[in-house]
Chain A
Amino acid sequence: MLLTCREARLRIEDFCDGLLSKAESLAVEEHVAHCATCRRRLLAERSFRALLRAAREVTPPPHYFESLFSRLTARLEAEQTRRRRLSYAASWAALASVVTTLTIFLVQKPAEPLPRPLRKPIAAGWTLRPQERRNFPPPTANKSVPERIEVSRDVVWASLVEQKRPAAVEEILPTSMESLSPEPETSDTWLAFAVPSADSPSLWKYETQRMSEPDILPPVRRSETEPTPTPSESGLPAFVSVAMTVVSEPTLPVEIILQKHR
């Protein structure tokens, strides 16, 4: 098989990748043996591949690889300890929740229901406070202005539990006890704002940021768009959903969905 320069050129990449048949490879080899230009092209392609292969060499900090296994073992042990503690604490919390609920039921009249209650109280003594719900304004008609929404840490946690997503709860449990405990005075503030989605003007994208340590990279790694396609009478979405990822440790992402009905 005799190849023209153009045909040879088109086959050089596959030739270097070893994708050509034996006959085609031989044809390329024959062509470059006689064509100086295509030979240089082949050499250039080989140099390019060698350049990329050189990036195999990496220089992590000294003793990085040697210490990796011991660091992994330490993390596994710490995680197992946390799980044990949390399991113990969760049992007490569940018991306390039952006792509290019974006390309220027996002693008090039920409170006035919210105008549009979203969901039932959640498990393990956590509830979504009404005022927290009201802190979620719907997006404004002016789509170019970001809308800031304050979300406190316990709402994030509560929402997670509320969704009854065992996998997510399971994932956050090892590190959540300290960082997401219900202590109002240490509650973090999460800011979210709505911006129109670039994909579709009918969708809203919610970006979030933890504001307690504004100078440090916040542990929010993801914010996602939940479609809000239901227009209300005023043309605004009837409800908005905020999907956030809370990273209580950089390696433990958890998806959380907060929902606000108008």
Chain B
Amino acid sequence: MALTDALVVGEKAKELERNEANLEEAFETLVRQHREAIYRVAIRMTHRHEDADDLVQETFLRAYTSLQRFRGEASPATWLYRIVTNLALNLLRHRSRFQRAAVLFRGESESVTPPSVDQDETRRAVQAALEMLPPSQRIVVVLFDIEGLSAAQIAEILDIPEGTVRSRLHYARRHLRRRLSAFFEELDHASHVS
């Protein structure tokens, strides 16, 4: 009897070890497969590498803590996009409030432009134009036009109606066309479409 018990305990311990090993393996795969995409969203939303790195790490740490509970109702990519999106929007909201507080405290602006992460002039221009957008529009452009997600996926990630996604996209693009018109032939498209 004692021997049977010992065998059962031994099996359970092995199973736990296997589960832990599986979890770590799944986590490593998740990180390897999605790290570039999550970093792209983070850097296009925040512009600063340090902030983007924070967001990327926090996204994956949160994913790890709920990996065992993840039941595949959404795709892992959608799930990670949702986490990084929420974190990025929170960060931008807080950054904006902090900058306002700093202005009130010190009577000066804290909005110092960080060094650009883009070597290429075109990408720098796109990043600068993106930063002029409100975060709620910026995230839609990042997910749709840069990441290539569908409006339905973005609606799921942001938990808003698909129509709202399309309307934010439309207004954001109109602004971006104006800002980036020097880089392509525009033909006054925005003003006629609106």
**Residue ranges of A at the interface with B (Cβ–Cβ < 8 Å):** 6, 9-10, 12-13, 37, 40-41, 43-45, 47-49, 51-61, 64-65, 68-69, 71-72, 75-76, 146, 191, 193, 195, 207-209, 218, 220-223, 245, 250-251, 253
Given A44-B187, A193-B104, A222-B93, A72 and B146 touching (CB < 8 A)?
A: no
Q: Which of B11-19, B73-81, B114-122, B153-161 contacts A (4 or more CB under 8 A)?
A: B114-122
A59 touches B184 (CB 8 A): no
Q: How far apart sit A191 and B102, CA to CA, in the bound complex (Å)?
A: 12
B90 touches A253 (CB 8 A): yes
- Closest residue of A by beta carbon distance from B52: A60
Most chain A CB inside 10 Å of its own CB: which residue of B44, B49, B145? B145
Q: Tell me which of B35, B57, B93, B184 contacts A51 (CB under 8 A).
A: B184
- Closest residue of B by beta carbon distance from A44: B185
Q: Tell me which of A60, A68, A207 contacts B101 (CB under 8 A).
A: A207
Given A59-B119, A76-B61, A51 and B90 touching (CB < 8 A)?
A: no
Number of interface residues of B (CB under 8 A): 58
Q: How far apart sit A6 and B193, CA to CA, in the bound complex (Å)?
A: 8
Q: Can you show 11 pairs from A to B with CB atoms below 8 A apart?
A: A51-B122, A52-B145, A58-B40, A58-B118, A68-B35, A71-B57, A75-B57, A221-B98, A223-B101, A251-B58, A253-B90
CB-based A-B contact count at 8 angstroms:
134
A56 touches B40 (CB 8 A): yes
- Closest residue of A by beta carbon distance from B58: A251
Known contacts A59-B118, A72-B61, then 19 further A-B pairs from the complex at CB < 8 Å, ordered by chain A residue: A9-B192, A43-B185, A48-B173, A48-B176, A48-B177, A51-B122, A54-B120, A54-B122, A55-B130, A56-B40, A56-B147, A58-B44, A65-B39, A76-B64, A207-B97, A221-B94, A250-B54, A251-B54, A251-B61
Q: Across the interface, which residues of B come within 8 angstroms of A60, CB to CB?
A: 39, 43, 49, 52, 117
Q: Mark B83-108, 1 if CB is under 8 A from A, else 0.
A: 00000001101110110111011000
- Closest residue of B by beta carbon distance from A252: B58
Q: How far apart sit A221 and B117, CA to CA, in the bound complex (Å)?
A: 23
- Closest residue of B by beta carbon distance from A245: B94
Task: Please report whether the interface of chain A is mostly helix, strand, loop or mixed according to DSSP.
Answer: helix
Given A37-B187, A60-B39, A65-B39, A13 and B193 touching (CB < 8 A)?
A: yes
Q: Across the interface, which residues of A come within 8 angstroms of B145, CB to CB?
A: 49, 52-53
Q: How far apart sit A40 and B185, CA to CA, in the bound complex (Å)?
A: 8
A44 touches B184 (CB 8 A): yes
